[in-house]
A and B are shown apart, each in its own frame.
Chain A
Amino acid sequence: MDGGDSEIGGGLLKVSDIRVGVLFIEGTNCEDESVAYFRVLGARAEKVHLKQLTGDVPREMRRRLEDYDILMIPGGFAAGDYVRAGTIFAARIKWKLQDGIVEFVEAGKPIFGVCNGFQVLVEMGLLPALGGTLLETPEAVLAINDSSHYECRPSLLKQENRGVCAFVSKIPRGRVLKVISAHAEGKILFPRDREKKILKELIRNDQIVFRYVDDRGRYAGYPWCPSGATYNIAALCNRDGNVFGIQPHPERCFFRYLHPDWTREDGGDGLGDGALVFQSVLDYVSRKF
């Protein structure tokens, strides 16, 4: 369970100096494990309530965005998600932090959205962000799954990024990762009249990071693609590659013993596929800053 991996953090900034803020409000429910697993890799991670960033808490509890090198928006059902997934949390972040977030992104610092976090980033206009850092009107939506209900199942994700994305710097292109899907709204859709054009642009910009495949590496339908997502897209990044949203949960395959079929493999020791995403972004920060 020792997370020390000599291959990450080869840059100027030591991994143990990298500060990760895992943002939460009521209904966010993956913050604890996300903090714990960043710490396993040696990073200085803490969970931070949105109110701590907006100043709505006593002075000693306040935090600033610049206190962090990586900002994570973890999974869950922020504020219940009774509107479209991610909408409420996105609105609450933008209300008081929009300028700070734009500054954070433009400084090249990574923002990591998982599941509900991905939905939040899309609702905020930070992904895919074809026309700027943060767009006032979202250009995509994570719609309800084709099955019309929640789907909790293993997924296979093929890494398709050609080099832009900070979150796959340690994952060779073409590699297939095991992760866990667990969402009701994961079907990415673009405006129908511009769908082809947007897809082309995403490909040209190298913004597509992971796509759902089946056990033979083919872009298959349900249940391999649990939602019916356009182009089997499971994860996107912005044009600079530092804002990243992924629908399935890499932290749920962080260790080998969390792989859905680990009892069929060599055993439960060591880090799992999901850790590669965490390692990649830490390595990126270590080298960049």
Chain B
Amino acid sequence: MGERYVRRRLPFPLHEVRLLEASDRELGSISQDMGLALSVDEMKRVREYFRGHKRDPTDVELQSLGQAWSEHCCYKSSKVFLKEFIFPVQTPDVIDRGDAGVMAFDEGHAYALRIESHNHPSAVVPYGGAATGIGGIIRDVLAMGAQPIALVDPLHFGPLDVPYVRLAPGLKHPKYLFGGVVAGIRDYGNRLGIPTVAGCVVFDEGYLGNIVVNVGCVGFGDRAQLQRNRVREAGDVFVLCGGRTGRDGIHGVTFASVDLTEEAVGEWEAGAVQLGDPIMKEPLIHAVIESAKAGLLHGLKDLGGGGLSCVVGELALNGGFGAEVDLEAVPLKEAGLEPWEIWVSESQERMMLVVPPENIERVLGIFELYDVPASPIGRVIREKLCRVRYRGETVVEMDLEFYTVGPEYRRPVQELPVPTKAADLPRMPRDLRATFLELLRSPNIASKESVIRQYDHEVRASTVVRPLQGVIGKAAHGDAAVVKPLVDSWRALAIATASTGAYTALDPYRGGATAVEETCRNLVAVGARPHAISNCLNFGNPERPDRLWFLREAVRGIGEAAAALGVAIPSGNVSLYNESAAGPVLPTPAILGVGIVEDLRRCVTSDLKRAGDPLYLVGTTRVDLGGSEYYRALGIDGGAPPSVDLRAARDSMEGLLRAMRNGTVAACHDLSHGGLAIAAAEMALGGDVGARLRLAKSDLRFDIALFSESNGRWLVEVRQGRDAEFLEGMAGVSVAKVGTVGGQEVALVRGGEAVRAALPAIRRAWTEAIPKLAVVS
């Protein structure tokens, strides 16, 4: 280090950074040298603060600010939009909004939910990055005092069959990334014993440069065991528990807040990716929950991005106090870490407990039984500042407000035109049956069984409705999973996800709104009332006005749809700077939705049940082909993506829930990718029985009637002889009888036009596609 960095005369490395006299240009290079990812304006603000205090900062202090003010930690570019469109979307059932959102379940219980991204680390180290993604989201839910009970993971990769020559330098092949991510989730999640019950795998050219790996978690608990992410009173003790702190995961958040250039990839590989240890996490969960249930804690928060430097400040500030920490008390993986490294390391499997002094002994006793390290490392003080000592030397002393709150920007956005009408219709395919089978083989539609069955979706013995539904050995995709958190209650939670990159790239408002509507549609399909969502926003560089516009519009769509459908948004996550040599990521909002099932015995699955039952189509089919799988198969770009009629969607959802309560519905499946034809096929596959659909004459071309992806639609099997009751429940909703269950083929007929395929041909096309593509050769 040059003259800018002056080492104090101490037996360990600690540097003062000559900031007070630094020129603006020098500020930029200091930020660069130290890997702070702070802009010159932000560095000026830091200089201002220290000029006020008439001293230069230490390296530990500057590193702290780099963490706290990162996009990842303080949402400086997105918060303005979240405040406008997302934060107001609340319902009376919202209990808390912290590391995860907390919602009322019944009088005595609550559930927690959150979804977040782990894109950058997974792009570099797919196995480890995805594993620690699971680890992180579990800690967010645990931080609310809730027992994690289910995981979800929407995953997005480039096409598996892309030729190597198409990959920009430094990019990894989708096959490698896909295999690594799935294995990482499998090996970490299965070991923890939290079932992975929902998600999706999407393939698109727009993910070649930046994969999108989102992970969501749902937790559950007695209301009495819930915790706040804040300290309660002066004198409370900070107890750091779980894994030891090491050099892994240094600068994760700052690298997640810049584009994924070749240089950044190198930095990640050099140690920004953390190392997961599920066998530390598993007993850590038990010990934390036991401490929470025993009422021994005053607060709780997980160590994620920014490590100690973020958790201490946020806990203290949220509670209106300050904090003092003795860094040498932090248990380390290896000797020789510099103070700043200990302070910002993102080593995994760590939680921070806030414990009143009188409970310390009991808490440490619980952790002792589970063989989980727990160490008091600091205390809550009245002065609103953060003071950190290392071997007696003060290495950080900053006002908490300045340190933790971070900047907030209203960066410029540049509106782009959105397609208002369908692209020119292609010519009618000559062989619609071939098109139908081709769509079944499309990686975004084809069976994900080879992925789903590698995840334990059954552990905790409370998964009532599985991700694959139907006849044993023949099950096909369902819309949502249902878990039963209490042994002695029929009330249950339905869990579903949706992501809409292809739509969002064409029209971000519609893409955002559709993601919410589709999530809710999925929940309703199993008989659940949509209750809360959590959103993960995966977008490009917010300093580019066009990219930021996609974010703003998607957020607007999400907020408006959630409000209209009556669901709360108590938590979320924003992942920006998903940019690489290949350009920005396909802008992708991913939604985790939770619905309440009043009585799980009324749950409905997607598999057809009985020959002779009538089939009804709920909702209206329009020319909605932009971003559709049909257009993808035909190689057509552009066109308007599906519009969202929120009022109609809400009415249909209410109607379907009434019909399901009455027990008139035998099977139900949401229409999404591939439209009506694909929904019918999946229902037939799961039930191992055919279906004959006779569509009424309409202005729509036959191929559009089959493959259009209009929102707000479900295909419903009604129990034979109960049509009148069903229709009574559906009063005021667009619904039409379209066919009957039976036979051994799926037949879609309209007048003289028809598509027919036998079940074995459908099954072959649908099941073989992904395993074939995923083979590493």
CB within 8 Å of B: which residues of A?
Answer: 1, 26-27, 29-30, 32-33, 36-37, 40, 49, 51-52, 57-58, 61, 75-77, 79-81, 149-154, 156, 178, 180, 182, 214-215, 223-224, 249, 251-252, 254, 257-258, 260-264, 267-269
Contacts and interface: CB of A to CB of B under 8 A. Distances in A.
B607 to A, nearest CB: 7
B732 to A, nearest CB: 27
Given A27-B191, A29-B282, A258-B461, A263 B469 contact: yes
Interface centre among A79, A224, A252, A267 (most CB of B within 10 A): A252
Contact of A264 (B370, B371, B453, B609): B609
Contact of B456 (A37, A79, A152): A152
Given A27-B191, A29-B193, A180-B458, A261 B601 contact: no
Contacts of A36: 487
A253 B462 CA distance: 9
Contact of A268 (B192, B600, B607): B600
22 contacts: A1-B487, A26-B283, A26-B371, A29-B191, A30-B461, A75-B459, A76-B193, A80-B278, A149-B186, A150-B453, A151-B453, A152-B454, A152-B458, A215-B473, A249-B461, A252-B459, A252-B461, A260-B475, A263-B465, A263-B604, A268-B464, A268-B603
Nearest to A79: B279
A156 to B, nearest CB: 7
Interface string B439-467: 00000000000001111111111111110
Contacts of A32: 460
B456 A258 contact: no
A263 B687 CA distance: 11
B472 A261 contact: yes
Contacts of B465: 263
Contacts of B280: 26
Contacts of A215: 471-473
Contacts of A150: 186, 190, 453-456
Contact of B460 (A33, A49, A52, A153): A33
Interface string B278-321: 11101100000000000000000000000000000000000000
Contact of A33 (B461, B475, B609): B461
A77 B279 CA distance: 8
Contacts of B165: none
Nearest to B283: A26
Given A30-B193, A260-B466, A261-B472, A152 B369 contact: no
Contacts of A264: 470-471, 605, 607, 609, 687
A151 B190 CA distance: 11
Contacts of A178: 472
A249 B460 contact: no
Interface centre among A49, A268, A269 (most CB of B within 10 A): A268
Q: Chain A interface secondary structure, helix, strand, loop or mixed?
A: mixed
A110 B598 CA distance: 39
B488 interface: yes
Interface centre among B455, B461, B487 (most CB of A within 10 A): B461
Contacts of A260: 466, 472, 475
B484 interface: yes
Nearest to B457: A152
A190 to B, nearest CB: 27
B365 interface: yes
Nearest to A115: B459
A225 to B, nearest CB: 12
Contacts of B484: 257
Interface centre among B369, B459, B600, B603 (most CB of A within 10 A): B459
Interface in B464-495: 464-466, 469-473, 475, 484, 487-488
Nearest to A214: B473
Contacts of A251: 461
Contacts of B370: 26, 49
B563 to A, nearest CB: 32
A251 B193 CA distance: 14
Nearest to A51: B369
Given A224-B473, A264-B607, 6 more contacts: A32-B460, A75-B459, A79-B279, A80-B191, A215-B472, A258-B461
A224 to B, nearest CB: 7
A30 B369 contact: no
Contact of A254 (B279, B456, B459, B461): B461
A93 to B, nearest CB: 16
A254 B455 CA distance: 21
Contacts of B601: 257, 267-269
A51 B367 CA distance: 13
Contacts of B191: 27, 29, 76-77, 80-81
B454 A257 contact: no
A31 to B, nearest CB: 9
B185 to A, nearest CB: 11
The 4 closest A-B pairs by CB, nearest first: A29-B193, A33-B461, A80-B279, A77-B191
Nearest to A33: B461
Contacts of A79: 279
Given A80-B279, A261-B470, A152 B453 contact: yes
A260 B369 CA distance: 36
B458 A182 contact: yes
Interface centre among A32, A153, A154 (most CB of B within 10 A): A153
A58 B472 contact: no
Nearest to A154: B472
Contacts of A224: 473
Contact of A263 (B190, B278, B603): B603
Contacts of B687: 264
A116 to B, nearest CB: 10
Contacts of B475: 260
A257 B371 CA distance: 36
B458 A249 contact: yes
A263 B605 contact: yes
A40 B487 CA distance: 9
Given A26-B371, A61-B369, A77-B279, A258 B472 contact: no
